[in-house]
Structure 1
């Protein structure tokens, strides 16, 4: 098959002012067609830059040329690249005609495995090269021209904040055009690509055409499943890692040397890019795809399954997910704690402190194995179990609503009953989970211990919240609020996005994001949301990577990724539709933007319950959501002045701090390093047993004393009564 070119270039026919244009090329005939476009663009006065890998077969970047080449290194050679193409041609020309369908599929799958590996190395070579990305940003490109036969051109454009154009002949089965570009291709009269049919098909041919349509879709979606986690990794970051990165960057800015111990299957920690951070990478027996699958299972359970399951059914389903998570987490722990060479290297580095997130176990053991103090950074644990039992933080259920309860600190009697129940329920659940880990902790440390006892040795607990978010409650001196540490002033938007925002006029814009973990929705739900957004006068910027909704209105634009902080800080932003993640809520508080909450899972319903009580958000139920509900909620928070007033009050509280949350985080980390720990801030409660903590031994003593007193007093009274009675009887007898 000879691939040609469909030239769809979104420029006016008249000559435009000279601009900078970036090219993401493919090989072979694809590059021949790209060169024709490049030459014409140069003839029209534009500056063209081609981002090319060092092993490219057809892009000769060493010859003198009016084109500027940005060459990035890849870990394979031109010979490797040429061998891959030879294998591909050999298969199609000499092997495929003599193989069965199954044999051809197996052979082609092996070739594609090699292709995916090499293509990923090409993507990494550019997308994980911070210096090159910075140079490309400084070049202020207006557009990127890419061939979708080579992945990652689209991500590069999104990372640079510029629009992109695809140039292609076709994709097999028109899969990309149909599913991604929403191009109609009815199989009744449109012969699918590679079918070798005309538009005049007989009935058997139409049957085959439908079969080919679904077959190619299945094959391409299988290939895309490999890339989905990569795209998510590059464009999104886990909320825990976002906060950790903010602290890391500030520590580096203050001259500290930072090392991150990361497993080889990490989804969000990009250890292959050039960075001032040193990475100690250890191998684990599962892949990034496995890790991504676990996260997808959790999101799917909370979002689409849990609302329709009984309590028992939900518990059984979630128990299986937790069992899988425990298995993978243990493999992560083994990867570092049972790696003697790595542990020796870490000891030789003479670290002063370890910063860990207790959502991921074994950071505390690693610190104890290295003989250094450690600090926890967390949002909360369900039911405040870790904080209460391990950190000894008081949380009276009479007025402190337990996390995930969705209560405020003003609870009715039935709510207080439920709050007490939730407190004990979450404690039981976690003690069941921890029982799996207690033996592991004892085995690794070589002495009887428990996970909770080990966690309790943390010197400082950095809690990623603050009084603008929390209800008043008691704190210990080694618990420090650092909520919003990742927030920062807004930067200018990419030009194309800024133009769309400015086109909103006096009505302004609405930002819509359901977070980095929710990549798409059902067609029904996406169409419902799009229909609602089309009924408001504001322009809408929606972060959504799924299929384009058929009800999408002209006032709404979809993006795979958003500069969320910069959009929330824009003066034209009127409201934020959010899933209720802590990071997004804090960015809204920081910039003073009222919210419409659509919580999906985990802490999100509880977070938004806090915002609703504080008068800065309206909250909707995702499972029962109707289009009019979203329209009414948006109109309420945008037009109701009290929402803006309340969120601005929270924003002023957030900004009115002696130290910013990030500065406070770093201060306490440096404090622990200066003093070799912060044991003087840990309460003596850690050394007490549960009955001593609650003074049950004292109560028992006082009860015994009271009982003894009552007993003695009763005996004395009875003795006196008997004595008096005897004397009276004796007196009567004498008389």
Structure 2
């Protein structure tokens, strides 16, 4: 798999030479995020690098594996509480609400989900045994999914170089933190559902949403920013935790996004999502009509299904 080899090659940059095995700490995100990262972890292990995956004792997809060393830490929530928070979050996405009501409802549910994972990060730093183990292990770098900032905080805490492996941030942070130019005249913001060819009023809407984005995300990550400042014993901002990442491995394809400038340390690895392939299920109905709205890589389909079998 070319994408998988490319992904591993970029991580090798932060590790010792190919003749010496490096030691990598992996701080993943649960759920589908881990399924893509696991392919990279297994490939790095095959190449002779020592990989330690740091996971909470309560999780969905992150189970122990023989491919690498797994270090767990205790958490204060149950699997049922984790399930309930996610079910509410998913239910919000399925509601057909107009803008800006959809943003407000999604924000309220996102705060609840984010709080659950912020508690997870606090549990990690409260585990003195885990921190002592990490401090004595002599890692060369950290590979992390940064959506909840715990891996970035941990990397800053131990002063280690770190690689982001991610799909994207809310509020355009994956372009804001690396200081990519983001011209509002033709780069539509999330939730506006504009294209890169906007009318004057759509550009005004785009500019207003962009102004609100940082406020939105600062509020969303408020607890984590406060906690990171306490852990690092200095005032940090949202961008402070992100802009020192050595490499950004982005799990989406550049050709599906609107054209925009990116930084040299941003690598698009959209093919990694196809590492685990399965045959498509049998189609039994034919869509007579398909309405769609495209916003970057977001495609919303509305199918009107006929009653005729193929």
**Residue aligning to 1:143:** none
**Residue aligning to 2:161:** 373
Shift of 1:489: 8.8
SS at match of 1:258: strand
Shift of 1:476: 0.9
SS at match of 2:94: helix
In the alignment, structure 1 residue 251 sits paired with structure 2 residue 251: no
SS at match of 1:461: strand
- 1:50-65 matched pairs, under 5 angstroms: none
Contact 2:152–2:241 (8 Å) recurs in 1 = yes
- 1:308-347 matched pairs, under 5 angstroms: 308=97, 311=100, 315=104, 317-347=105-135
Tell me which protein shows more strand as a share of its residues.
Answer: 2
SS at match of 1:262: strand
Once the two structures are superposed, residues 551-599 of structure 1 have per-residue CA deviations (whole angstroms, 9 ceiling, x without a partner) of xxxxxxxxxxxxxxxxxxxxxxxxxxxxxxxxxxxxxxxxxxxxx7889
2:72 & 2:276 partners in 1: Cα distance? Answer: 33
Contact 1:356–1:374 (8 Å) recurs in 2 = yes
Contact 2:190–2:295 (8 Å) recurs in 1 = no
1:324 & 1:312 partners in 2: Cα distance? Answer: 17
Distance 1:312 1:401, change over 3 A: closer
Shift of 1:474: 0.3
1:326 & 1:490 partners in 2: Cα distance? Answer: 30
- Structure 2 unaligned residues grouped into runs of 5+: 1-29
1:452 & 1:421 partners in 2: Cα distance? Answer: 20
Once the two structures are superposed, residues 311-353 of structure 1 have per-residue CA deviations (whole angstroms, 9 ceiling, x without a partner) of 45862x4454334223322221112122222111112221111
1:331 & 1:386 partners in 2: Cα distance? Answer: 23
User: Among residues 416, 420, 424, which one is paired with 2:203 in the alignment?
Assistant: 416
**Residue aligning to 2:297:** 607
SS at match of 2:241: helix
User: Among residues 262, 265, 272, which one is paired with 1:478 in the alignment?
Assistant: 265
- Structure 1 unaligned residues grouped into runs of 5+: 1-236, 502-508, 511-532, 538-595, 610-618, 636-735
2:114 & 2:226 partners in 1: Cα distance? Answer: 13
In the alignment, structure 1 residue 269 sits paired with structure 2 residue 56: no
Distance 1:536 1:278, change over 3 A: same
Shift of 1:425: 2.5
- 1:194-209 matched pairs, under 5 angstroms: none
- Indicate the structure whose relative CO is greater, using CA pairs within 8 Å and at least 6 residues apart: 2
**Residue aligning to 1:11:** none
2:56 & 2:277 partners in 1: Cα distance? Answer: 33
User: Among residues 395, 407, 421, which one is paired with 2:182 in the alignment?
Assistant: 395
Shift of 1:292: 1.1
1:454 & 1:321 partners in 2: Cα distance? Answer: 24
SS at match of 1:359: helix
Distance 1:275 1:473, change over 3 A: same
Contact 1:241–1:269 (8 Å) recurs in 2 = yes
CA RMSD between the two structures: 3.2
Distance 1:310 1:415, change over 3 A: closer
- 1:114-263 matched pairs, under 5 angstroms: 238-263=31-56
1:475 & 1:534 partners in 2: Cα distance? Answer: 42
In the alignment, structure 1 residue 425 sits paired with structure 2 residue 103: no
**Residue aligning to 1:440:** 227
Shift of 1:296: 0.5
Question: Normalization by structure 2: what TM-score?
Answer: 0.78
Distance 1:340 1:262, change over 3 A: same
User: Among residues 289, 305, 308, which one is paired with 1:627 in the alignment?
Assistant: 305
Once the two structures are superposed, residues 471-506 of structure 1 have per-residue CA deviations (whole angstroms, 9 ceiling, x without a partner) of 221011121111121324967x6xxx9xxx8xxxxx
Contact 1:380–1:403 (8 Å) recurs in 2 = no
Once the two structures are superposed, residues 677-723 of structure 1 have per-residue CA deviations (whole angstroms, 9 ceiling, x without a partner) of xxxxxxxxxxxxxxxxxxxxxxxxxxxxxxxxxxxxxxxxxxxxxxx
User: Among residues 138, 156, 172, which one is paired with 1:384 in the alignment?
Assistant: 172
2:276 & 2:301 partners in 1: Cα distance? Answer: 29
1:489 & 1:289 partners in 2: Cα distance? Answer: 28
User: Among residues 72, 77, 90, which one is paired with 1:299 in the alignment?
Assistant: 90
1:308 & 1:474 partners in 2: Cα distance? Answer: 32
Distance 1:440 1:318, change over 3 A: same
Once the two structures are superposed, residues 616-658 of structure 1 have per-residue CA deviations (whole angstroms, 9 ceiling, x without a partner) of xxx533xxx5434x98xx99xxxxxxxxxxxxxxxxxxxxxxx
1:327 & 1:403 partners in 2: Cα distance? Answer: 22
SS at match of 2:274: coil
**Residue aligning to 2:144:** 356
Contact 2:287–2:304 (8 Å) recurs in 1 = no
1:406 & 1:430 partners in 2: Cα distance? Answer: 19
Distance 1:483 1:282, change over 3 A: same
SS at match of 2:182: coil
Shift of 1:418: 2.2
1:267 & 1:352 partners in 2: Cα distance? Answer: 28
Contact 1:441–1:451 (8 Å) recurs in 2 = no
Shift of 1:376: 1.0
Contact 1:398–1:416 (8 Å) recurs in 2 = yes
